[in-house]
Homo-oligomer: A and B are copies of this chain.
């Protein structure tokens, strides 16, 4: 049990110096996790300490089995520096992604390498708190299979849709019960559990590993069944008072619009989300407005999902393309709001729909030009995410790491 998270956790009976040392060690481990092997000098730039001090910390960490020397780096004409990196088995993090219709689990080692294959459990989130036990069982099996010592697991990061307050561990939308869902998981797993909203974990993944890496003010829009907004301001993930910031999909966009699942009418989500596309596609199919899309789903409207529409569009289906263009226009108008409010460096578009970026980006750009002040709208960079479907799970794992390691 005398493992880093415990050992380096802030204890009140520590003196100032010990606290500082441990905080610096945690910083080093975090840095090596996120950015890989580094030299003493690189780390010095980051933790602002003199060479002798860093070397002494690195030696302590080496003796504790946390890090190892990894040969020598390059020099531009001088002695070659030693490289230090986390030891693969120094610790592990478990990432769990609960989506509407399935749950994925992955385990990462101390080098931020995913050491598991694809583990997917089909489960419907609307079934509520009853899906907790299967998820725990599924995860425990993977941990056992990989023969990872429990005390080497830093904790479990869990991303899910809905109004998630990571401080209290409550999800107000899904998996609602009389106790905070994070606590339910914590009890069952017997270890640290962090829950976070999926749009935010993906934004965090972009910030640490993706297109937002060197930027300070970036928005990420995740398009799947709903519309998720991730906000990065001043180089940090923004969550708001309760963690509910980013309810972009429920901005009222249309007067007397369609009823949204949130109870209001005319939300952006009713006209520019995966749900909206499927609704429009079903209507179109009934009216026989597309033969290609119909074929893809065997003429069964219930089989329509975002991927079918994206595929049909990519195959040249006019009806699907026009639906995507329509979604793009509305989304672009919404983005114009965001750009004027945030003046971000870029907006990163993610989710299944982004595979149709050729159809959706032009109308977005057009709407931005129409609705945005040119000083703000002309310079904005709209990109498609390069992180794959694992972004969320990677993000929530990193988020957990930072939460554990940033304590105090």
**Are B371 and A264 within 8 A (Cβ)?**
yes
30 contacts between A and B (CB under 8 A): A16-B50, A163-B373, A172-B375, A216-B241, A217-B240, A217-B245, A233-B238, A234-B236, A238-B342, A240-B343, A240-B344, A241-B344, A241-B379, A242-B343, A242-B376, A243-B343, A244-B343, A244-B375, A244-B376, A246-B341, A246-B343, A247-B340, A247-B373, A248-B341, A252-B333, A252-B336, A252-B337, A262-B373, A337-B337, A341-B341
**Are B344 and A251 within 8 A (Cβ)?**
no
CA–CA, A229 to B342, complex, Å? 11
**A interface residues with partner B (beta carbon < 8 Å):** 16, 50, 163, 172, 216-217, 229, 231, 233-234, 236, 238-248, 250-252, 262, 264, 333, 336-338, 340-345, 371, 373, 375-376, 379
**Are A371 and B238 within 8 A (Cβ)?**
no
Known: A247-B373, A264-B373, A371-B252. A345 touches B163 (CB 8 A): no
Partner of A341, one of B50, B234, B245, B375: B245
Q: Which residues of B contact A231 (CB under 8 A)?
A: 341
Interface contacts beyond A231-B341, A233-B234, A243-B343: sample of 17 additional A-B pairs, CB < 8 Å, sorted by A: A16-B50, A172-B375, A217-B240, A217-B241, A229-B341, A233-B233, A234-B234, A242-B379, A244-B373, A244-B375, A245-B343, A250-B373, A251-B337, A252-B371, A262-B373, A264-B373, A341-B341
Pick the most buried of A240, A248, A338: most chain B CB atoms within 10 A of its CB: A240
Write the chain B residue with the least CB distance to A16.
Answer: B50
Could you tell me the distance in whole angstroms from the C-beta of A48 to the nearest C-beta in chain B? 8
Partner of A248, one of B172, B340, B379: B340
Write the chain B residue with the least CB distance to A239.
Answer: B343
- Chain A binding site: helix, strand, loop or mixed by DSSP? loop
**Are A376 and B247 within 8 A (Cβ)?**
yes
Partner of A241, one of B243, B252, B345: B345
Could you tell me the distance in whole angstroms from the C-beta of A56 to the nearest C-beta in chain B? 17
Could you tell me the distance in whole angstroms from the C-beta of A176 to the nearest C-beta in chain B? 12
Write the chain B residue with the least CB distance to A237.
Answer: B234
Could you tell me the distance in whole angstroms from the C-beta of A404 to the nearest C-beta in chain B? 20
- The 8 closest A-B CB pairs, nearest first, are A240-B343, A247-B340, A245-B343, A244-B343, A241-B345, A252-B371, A233-B233, A241-B343
Write the chain B residue with the least CB distance to A243.
Answer: B343
Pick the most buried of A229, A233, A336: most chain B CB atoms within 10 A of its CB: A233
**Are A247 and B336 within 8 A (Cβ)?**
no
CA–CA, A44 to B138, complex, Å? 50
Q: Which residues of B contact A217 (CB under 8 A)?
A: 240-241, 245
Q: Which residues of B contact A163 (CB under 8 A)?
A: 373, 375
Q: Which residues of B contact A371 (CB under 8 A)?
A: 252, 264
Q: Which residues of B contact A341 (CB under 8 A)?
A: 229, 231, 245-248, 251, 338, 341
Pick the most buried of A163, A247, A262, A264: most chain B CB atoms within 10 A of its CB: A247
Write the chain B residue with the least CB distance to A345.
Answer: B241
Partner of A342, one of B245, B252, B344: B245
CA–CA, A375 to B375, complex, Å? 34
**Are B342 and A240 within 8 A (Cβ)?**
yes
CA–CA, A90 to B231, complex, Å? 41
**Are B247 and A343 within 8 A (Cβ)?**
yes
CA–CA, A238 to B246, complex, Å? 16
